Amino acid sequence: MVRPFSRRWVTVLLALALVGLVPVAASAQTQADVDRAEREKEIAEARQTQAYQDYVDVSAQLEEAVERYEQIYAQHADLVYRISRMESAVERYQTEAAELEEAARDIVLDAYMSGQSNLIGSAFSATTIQDLVTSRALIDRAAKRELESLDNLDAVSREADRSSAELDVRRADVAANQAEAELIVDEISTLQQRQREILAQADANLTAAIETLKRERREKAAEDERIKRQQAERSASRPGAAGGAAPAATPGFMCPVQGGASFIDSWGFPRSGGRKHKGVDMFNARGTPLLAVVDGRIKFSYNSLGGRSTHLYADNGVVYYYTHLDSHPSNISSGQRVSKGTVVGFLGNSGNARYTSPHLHFEIRPGGKAVNPYPTVRSAC
């Protein structure tokens, strides 16, 4: 009873399907759909091509902004260091001037005691110690030894004044410098935001194109670096030139910043307190995961200069140092062994980087001594 009924329906359905199928493919309606789809595809492709071009432009601008930032930051550190040294020099001059003033007062007092009225007059009419020191009366009165100290006072006072004036100029430089640095920090974060937007909207083709671009840039940089190193080796017989780590010391090294970062070779740039930069500063958004570059044991720490840090001890004795972290991951603990690619921190600006654009300060220390990490990082990021 059921079979003829169902067979009949199967036949009807089959017929309907055939009728439906054949004309549908040929209908004008569908051709328009196909054309529209074709146009949409072309528009989408053009959009992605534009996005790719934007990405290339933004990357170049970002690199250039980071370069400017590094320069200005180095200038800033250098200026601040000079100022601190000038301040102590001014302080020394002032102490010396105070001692010499004391000596000048003694001369005046001595003159008063022995009734030298012309000198007393000068002493009382002088509005500044400089007037007194350079007054004829005092100079006439002073014995040879005393005269020397008075000359000295004059010189020291002038030096203190000159240094103070220069200090004012330097302080103005620092303020201008800081304002410029802040603008660049904003620019960097805007560009990073733009880059993230492009990546968020990228389709598979664009993502692949961007990956290719990144790889080509890496390869070019590695090649440039290789040539530079070769030239340095040829020209310099001096040992310990900032050539970076030997590739054999960092086998399997991977980029420490997930998704890469913007950075330049800032090895040896001036830093606060007259120190030299011993690492590479890798700029990216706060909170970007930082990865173990090789297998090893990690140690978390905190200090006021570096802020939150991670040390990674590779089995071959090379130490990798990550600092200015925003935070440490909560799922692993200090002292633990981790494998390459494990998240060992999150990018930030803790420690003395708290007024800078968030970045990872990264060091490579073969045998405990930092070498320029740039070539190694450049070829991996």
The torsion angles phi and psi of 278, rounded to 5 degrees, stand at -110, 25
How many binding residues for Zn ion (CB under 5 A)? 3
- CB count within 10 Å of CB 199 equals 14
Q: Which segments of the chain does DSSP mark as H helices, in order?
A: 2-26, 28-113, 117-125, 129-134, 136-141, 144-201, 204-235, 374-380
| Tokens encoding 33 | 């759909």
Closest CB to Zn ion: residue number: 361
Among 70, 225, 265, 281, binds Zn ion (CB under 5 A): 281
Q: Does 265 bind Zn ion (CB under 5 A)?
A: no
Question: Whose Cβ is closer to Zn ion: residue 8's or residue 276's?
Answer: 276
Q: Could you say whether residue 225 binds Zn ion (CB under 5 A)?
A: no
Exposure class string for 250-266: b at 16+ Cβ within 10 A, else e:
beebebbbbebbbbbbb
3-class state of residue 263 by DSSP: coil
Q: Of 76, 141, 328, 361, which lies in the binding site for Zn ion, with binding defined by CB under 5 A? A: 361
Least CB distance to Zn ion at residue 277 (A): 6
CB closer to Zn ion, 100 vs 257? 257
Q: Of the listed pieces 10-18, 177-185, 195-203, 275-283, which binds Zn ion according to CB under 5 A?
A: 275-283
Q: Rule CB under 5 A: say whether 76 interacts with Zn ion.
A: no
Sole window of 33-41, 64-72, 211-219, 279-287 interacting with Zn ion (rule: CB under 5 A): 279-287
Q: Could you tell me the smallest distance in angstroms from the CB atom of residue 285 to Zn ion? A: 17
Q: Which of residues 137-156 bind Zn ion (CB under 5 A)?
A: none
Q: Indicate the SS3 state at residue 35.
A: helix
Q: Which is nearer to Zn ion, 76 or 361 (CB)?
A: 361
For tokens 């002493």, the residue is 123
**Stretch touching Zn ion by CB under 5 A, among 4-12, 60-68, 161-169, 359-367:** 359-367
Tell me the β-bridge partners of 283: 262, 359
The nearest distance, CB 260 to Zn ion, in angstroms, is 17
Q: Helices 204-235 and 28-113 sit at what angle, rounded to 10 degrees?
A: 40
Residues that bind Zn ion (CB under 5 A): 279, 281, 361
